[in-house]
Chains A and B, each alone.
Chain A
Amino acid sequence: MNEFLQQLINGLSLGAVYALIALGYTMVYGVLRFINFAHGDVFMVGAFAGMYFGRWLKPHLVGWPEWLFAGLILLLVMVACAALGGLVERLAYKPLREKPRLTVLITAIGVSLLLEYTGQLIFGAAPRGFPSLLTSAPIAGLGGLHVSNIQMIVLGVTAALLMCLHYIVMRTRMGLAMRALSLNPTAASLMGVNNSVVISFTFGLGSALAGAGAVFYASLYQAIDPFMGVLPGMKAFVAAVLGGIGSLPGAMVGGLILGVIETLVVGYSQVLGVPPGYRDAVAFVILILILLFKPSGLFGKTLKEKV
């Protein structure tokens, strides 16, 4: 039982990262109906931004409590990623607004490669150590469970970010415009919505969440490199499809499920007879199963307008 709980907690903290990235895929899909394959690389840039912000600011903010410093880095990374996401949209996707979706999709793959290899050029190909923003300490009093404070903070802050997102999407004017635009862009513009502004905002919001995911991921695993966005990006995409692409709750739940399944398969590899090296295959097996049996995903629904 303890073993299972242990794996569950490990899986949830990994799943939280997947969920944060998956939200960006699903939101952009919602407003533009395309998969932004460069999203995982925005995540990667977020991790490097966190590393550099951490290094540069540490000597200047010596007296700061650790949590405040970590919070500041998180916030700065989110802002930097939002700016990068918005910039990518402006430069790469906006000029293609009237073009076929396939053109935009291929452009996204191009942007992805551009970010990866520019990253390699600037940061080098070797993995770098991510500074520990918070001192890692096991939480005592949980019996045989090994849970670090960082895991719990990741889960807690992710929950807080998801609540903020829910508030923005469901309660604010911009959120209403996002939902309207995803349902019918023409009608949204006839209501006075400047679709370009809403699309940029959506990219920024999704990228900021990926930035938060990057800081968490790097804090949990501590090594970062220019290609670190590829697999988490792919897996988060699977998580978004699992939840139902275009659905925000779907992306959250899909991410958590994927993280847990992946961790359980590794944790119980001997029982299952699956070598732990297959952990990365898990997501793609799930993807194949969804596409075969429920392509709309868990929360995917289509309510057609009556004609």
Chain B
Amino acid sequence: MLELENVSAGYGSIAALHGISLRVEKGSIVTLVGANGAGKSSTLRTVSGLLKARSGRVLFCGEDITNWPAHRLVGRGLAHVPEGRMIFANLTVLENLKMGAYLRRDGAGIAADLEFVLETFPRLRERRSQQAGTLSGGEQQMLAIGRALMSKPRLLMLDEPSLGIAPLLVKTIFEKIVQVNRELDLTVLLVEQNAHLALEVSHFGYVLETGRILMADRSESLRSNPAVQAAYLGA
């Protein structure tokens, strides 16, 4: 579904990615783990067009999407839940969800997906008329994911969904991620600092360090890999 070939990118004179190559198979959950500054977020940002690739290619569903502007990719079925959630604080919960379906014209489909999102995250239904900025961190994360689902994506990219969220809600959110992956057959690319959690829910994992891929393996194998355990799982 998604393929990166030797992608490099950076901010100004600072290089963030040095030739990243990875694959995300349809229907799977793939995770990128690694320390702060390893290039996980930059990888997602390069895929979704927020960061320019300096070299290499990004292929999505067989199409070369390298350096497409972000807004064009949404229509192709790519949804990116960015780091820090970036919900629209002064819009209501419902308006935020409506923004997720911004490019869609199928009224009935939108209504059905809205129902699905509100069913999946009942908290959002309770607070649907509230300004999104008044939600708790965990609720905002649910809103950000729900908003991304409203675009009816083929690939959902999540950047640090557990960041700054109460542990109990983190568990709920990860259950929901697994649920949408199964129920909607939605492919997920997950960036997560909490490697423990990420390798538990995912099928395949990449370990990043300073903008390079250090290891790539099935998540179970990574979990039992002594080097990964020592560096990322605190074993």
Binding site for B on A (CB under 8 A): 173, 176-177, 179-180, 183-184, 186-195, 303-307
Contact = CB atoms under 8 A, between A and B. Distances in A.
Interface of B: 48-50, 69-71, 74-75, 79-80, 82, 84-91, 95, 98-100, 102-103, 131, 133-137, 140, 147, 151, 164
Contacts of B82: 186-187, 190
Contact of A195 (B71, B95, B140, B164): B71
A192 B50 CA distance: 12
A304 B151 CA distance: 25
Contacts of A189: 49-50, 69-71
B151 to A, nearest CB: 7
20 contacts: A184-B86, A188-B99, A189-B50, A189-B69, A190-B50, A190-B70, A190-B71, A190-B80, A191-B74, A191-B102, A192-B75, A192-B151, A193-B71, A194-B69, A195-B71, A303-B89, A303-B131, A305-B86, A306-B137, A306-B140
A190 B133 contact: no
A80 B98 CA distance: 33
B91 A187 contact: no
B90 A183 contact: yes
A191 B99 contact: yes
Which 9 residue pairs spanning A and B have beta carbons closest together? A192-B74, A187-B86, A192-B103, A189-B70, A303-B133, A183-B88, A305-B89, A191-B102, A189-B71
Given A192-B103, A306-B133, A187 B87 contact: yes
A183 B147 CA distance: 15
Given A191-B147, A192-B71, A177 B87 contact: no
Contacts of A187: 82, 86-88
B99 A180 contact: yes
Give the secondary structure class of A's interface. helix
Instruction: Pick the most buried of A189, A190, A193: most chain B CB atoms within 10 A of its CB.
Output: A190
A183 B98 CA distance: 15
A194 B102 CA distance: 11
B89 A183 contact: yes
A189 B74 CA distance: 9
Contacts of A193: 71, 99, 102
A214 B164 CA distance: 51
Contact of B91 (A173, A183, A307): A183
B70 to A, nearest CB: 4
A179 B74 contact: no
B88 A180 contact: yes
B95 A176 contact: yes
B89 A304 contact: yes
Given A187-B82, A190-B48, A306-B133, A176 B71 contact: no
Given A189-B69, A304-B133, A176 B99 contact: yes
Contacts of B147: 191
Contacts of A191: 71, 74, 99-100, 102-103, 147, 151
Contacts of A305: 84-87, 89, 133, 140
Contacts of A303: 89-90, 131, 133-134
Contacts of A180: 88, 91, 99
Nearest to B88: A183
A21 B28 CA distance: 54
Nearest to A188: B99
B105 to A, nearest CB: 10
A180 B71 CA distance: 14
